[in-house]
A and B are shown apart, each in its own frame.
Chain A
């Protein structure tokens, strides 16, 4: 088996919400009611090996981007451990700033690209700084990467705002790939692309993975893309991982009631008029999560037990874990 590249143990992240930082400080002195704490990611453990692609899926707001930013090392954790190639992030980063060879493609490309830099600089600068290419040859290097993500050579002298949404997303991908990371986190990185450009990008990522053993964490709402690209998939619900299995196993025999609901809703191209149904009942809020199993208000097989007890992840088949109190086996 390939070498372990990343390991997370019990990662959690909370945010204080609804008030400004100043207000929070004032509260502390004036002894006002404690501000609301939102637990965006709650005790998530993950591993990733070289050349492996892990998919992360789950409802909007369930904590995927927060988890991704912690893994990328750009968001501090509230608690938990992160290891890159066996070494804790803190000691790794203290030793050498760029030893963490993880890149992230952000969900929102506009806010992650410096608006004052031309695309040539955005994509090329880091590669030069990392010593991957001499400055004299950086232009060819950038043009080559841009071509691989399907952008014309004349893009290099343009600014981010002069591109379409999907073109900007590809600039973000090009920038990440330019520094030849060991691990790439893609947060909805192909969401704004039409299916043919999306296919081009996914094929490119699969090529790089085969050639250089690139490890990937791939966050997407598009279950078709997830199924196509990922080796394993983690399903999150309100901050927690509720099921994790190899991709084919998960799609063939999902066990957690939430995963089943998610896969049932998977859209297809058809000419039948689908009935778009409103969500039944209250949508659970991360600001005020349901007790016990977070999924109980929507779960068709919930029992009283589920309201009181937090289900822990447990293995139900080799490499297949889930957190449900009532589903025993496959």
Chain B
């Protein structure tokens, strides 16, 4: 196995709001190899997008990376200036934001936005920019790409906007892509088309990919490894087989139970009782304790990591038997 080319170590990203400190990401560590897909799943609001935006250096006030290291090919990203990071973005790492409007300017035609993404980094002719745009738009399954280049974002459907954002991320052939819910608004046919194309980049060019999603079925088929997050912290990380096939963590198990296809149609879906705790008032113990059937007194103490196997690591005092 190759060495990781990308590492996150002990990342903490907090928002210092008037109401208090929102600890969105707490002590997250993981790595990524070339040609590998790491899936991130977890409760809504658990810090998945903030993790991605931290890597991209796009955390705005009053948020800040409080501690931790993020390195790509030995380069420490948290040490880069804003200008240096800007040159990294797009060319070395690209992010497909969950909200297409983070990337798309509503007042600009798709063509101008895509050209701008290229010309910021490379000096190429209009002809070449045009051809490259058409190529990536085709790859993500946009019909009539020539005409669509003329469109404004609001003239496209939600799924088309999402595809334009994916296409833009592919434009410069980055080493690594962080895709945040990239295919949630897409039907399975188009999803398959996009994943097929990205899979080729992964296998042929050694693209490293972080795929943030709640779509466990896509992930189960695409990811090499999966990280499960809850309330800003990692609950479990391992190979896809470790997580989907033999999860040992109470939260992961509950999550898998809630999938509609594992429930009886028309009846109530199994849901996890209660809600995620407010990130403003986290205790030092396991954040899942208030909703966990296996919780005992010790769960209110900080939870250490347990290495279950070479690939499988878990944060829980009472994991299920293997």
Contacts and interface: CB of A to CB of B under 8 A. Distances in A.
B69 interface: no
Interface string A265-302: 11111111110111100111111100000000000000
Interface centre among A61, A196, A224, A273 (most CB of B within 10 A): A196
Interface string A69-82: 00000000000000
A271 B241 contact: yes
A272 B266 CA distance: 28
Contact of A199 (B142, B240, B270): B270
A194 B99 contact: no
A197 B254 CA distance: 11
B147 A18 contact: yes
A107 B181 CA distance: 14
Nearest to A159: B17
Given A202-B269, A203-B271, A225-B260, A268 B217 contact: yes
Nearest to A169: B44
B268 A206 contact: yes
B244 A60 contact: no
Contacts of A248: 265
B117 to A, nearest CB: 21
Contacts of A147: 275
A182 interface: no
Interface string A187-205: 1100111111111101100
A61 B144 contact: no
A192 B217 contact: no
B80 interface: no
Interface in A76-105: none
Given A157-B19, A194-B214, A268-B217, A285 B157 contact: no
Contacts of A128: none
B158 A65 contact: yes
B58 interface: no
A36 interface: yes
Given A222-B260, A287-B147, A188 B155 contact: no
B71 interface: no
Interface in A222-257: 222-225, 227-228, 247-248
A312 interface: no
B261 to A, nearest CB: 4
A206 B214 CA distance: 22
A265 B101 CA distance: 29
Interface stretch (A160-168, A172-180, A320-328): A160-168
Interface string B276-314: 111010000000000000000000000000000000000
Contacts of B144: 285, 287-288
Interface of A: 15, 17-19, 36, 57-61, 64-65, 107-108, 110-111, 147, 150-152, 154, 157-158, 162-167, 170, 187-188, 191-200, 202-203, 206, 221-225, 227-228, 247-248, 261-262, 265-274, 276-279, 282-288
Given A61-B159, A150-B44, A203-B269, 4 more contacts: A107-B185, A165-B99, A269-B256, A288-B144
Interface of B: 15, 17, 19, 22, 41-46, 48-50, 98-101, 141-144, 147, 150-151, 155-160, 163, 180-181, 184-193, 195-197, 199, 214-218, 220-222, 240-241, 244-245, 254-256, 258-263, 265-266, 268-272, 275-278, 280
